[in-house]
Amino acid sequence: MSDKWRVEVDRSVCIGSGMCVGGAPRDFTLDSGRKSYPVHEVADSSEAIMDAAESCPVEAITIVDAETGRPVFPPEE
Protein backbone atom coordinates (compact mmCIF):
# COMPACT_ATOMS: atom_id res chain seq x y z
CA MET A 1 0.00 0.00 0.00
CA SER A 2 1.32 3.46 -0.88
CA ASP A 3 1.38 6.45 1.42
CA LYS A 4 -0.97 8.43 -0.83
CA TRP A 5 -4.75 8.11 -0.79
CA ARG A 6 -7.42 9.27 -3.21
CA VAL A 7 -10.24 10.59 -1.04
CA GLU A 8 -13.79 10.99 -2.36
CA VAL A 9 -17.06 12.15 -0.86
CA ASP A 10 -20.33 10.97 -2.38
CA ARG A 11 -22.07 14.33 -2.30
CA SER A 12 -25.43 12.73 -3.11
CA VAL A 13 -25.15 10.84 0.20
CA CYS A 14 -23.48 13.54 2.34
CA ILE A 15 -25.82 15.14 4.89
CA GLY A 16 -23.42 17.90 5.91
CA SER A 17 -22.97 16.78 9.50
CA GLY A 18 -19.49 18.31 9.48
CA MET A 19 -17.97 15.45 11.47
CA CYS A 20 -15.25 15.02 8.86
CA VAL A 21 -14.38 18.72 8.99
CA GLY A 22 -14.32 18.64 12.78
CA GLY A 23 -12.02 15.63 12.85
CA ALA A 24 -9.82 16.46 9.87
CA PRO A 25 -10.11 20.21 9.16
CA ARG A 26 -7.00 20.21 6.95
CA ASP A 27 -8.47 17.46 4.79
CA PHE A 28 -12.19 18.26 4.44
CA THR A 29 -14.31 21.37 4.04
CA LEU A 30 -17.99 22.19 3.53
CA ASP A 31 -19.33 24.15 0.59
CA SER A 32 -22.10 26.76 0.80
CA GLY A 33 -24.70 23.96 0.59
CA ARG A 34 -23.08 22.24 3.60
CA LYS A 35 -21.83 19.32 1.52
CA SER A 36 -18.40 17.97 2.34
CA TYR A 37 -15.55 17.63 -0.10
CA PRO A 38 -11.88 16.75 0.27
CA VAL A 39 -9.45 19.66 0.27
CA HIS A 40 -7.06 17.60 -1.89
CA GLU A 41 -8.05 14.82 -4.28
CA VAL A 42 -4.87 12.95 -3.37
CA ALA A 43 -3.60 13.24 0.19
CA ASP A 44 -0.97 11.69 2.39
CA SER A 45 -2.40 8.74 4.26
CA SER A 46 -3.35 9.80 7.76
CA GLU A 47 -5.16 8.67 10.84
CA ALA A 48 -7.27 11.85 10.73
CA ILE A 49 -8.64 11.01 7.27
CA MET A 50 -9.33 7.42 8.27
CA ASP A 51 -11.09 8.56 11.44
CA ALA A 52 -13.20 11.01 9.41
CA ALA A 53 -14.25 8.25 7.00
CA GLU A 54 -15.04 5.86 9.83
CA SER A 55 -17.08 8.48 11.72
CA CYS A 56 -19.16 9.67 8.77
CA PRO A 57 -22.75 8.94 9.83
CA VAL A 58 -23.85 8.10 6.28
CA GLU A 59 -20.61 6.47 5.03
CA ALA A 60 -20.20 9.05 2.26
CA ILE A 61 -16.38 9.00 2.34
CA THR A 62 -14.34 6.47 0.42
CA ILE A 63 -10.58 6.12 0.35
CA VAL A 64 -8.54 4.23 -2.21
CA ASP A 65 -4.81 3.72 -2.52
CA ALA A 66 -3.70 6.35 -5.05
CA GLU A 67 -1.07 4.06 -6.54
CA THR A 68 -2.94 0.75 -6.81
CA GLY A 69 -6.59 1.83 -6.78
CA ARG A 70 -7.32 -0.74 -4.08
CA PRO A 71 -9.97 0.20 -1.51
CA VAL A 72 -8.68 1.38 1.85
CA PHE A 73 -12.06 2.37 3.29
CA PRO A 74 -14.50 0.83 3.35
CA PRO A 75 -12.33 -2.28 3.30
CA GLU A 76 -12.94 -5.02 0.78
CA GLU A 77 -14.99 -7.87 2.16
Q: Which of 50, 57, 13 is nearest to 28 (CA)?
A: 50
Domains annotated for the chain, with CATH where assigned, are 4-73 (3.30.70.20)
Yes or no: say if 29 and 37 are a contact pair by the CB < 8 Å rule: yes
Alpha-carbon dihedral sign for residues 25, 26, 32, 37: negative
Yes or no: say if 4 and 44 are a contact pair by the CB < 8 Å rule: yes
Residue by residue, pLDDT tens for the chain (77 residues) are 679 999 999 999 999 999 999 999 999 999 999 999 999 989 999 999 999 999 999 999 999 999 999 999 998 77
pTM exceeding 0.75: yes
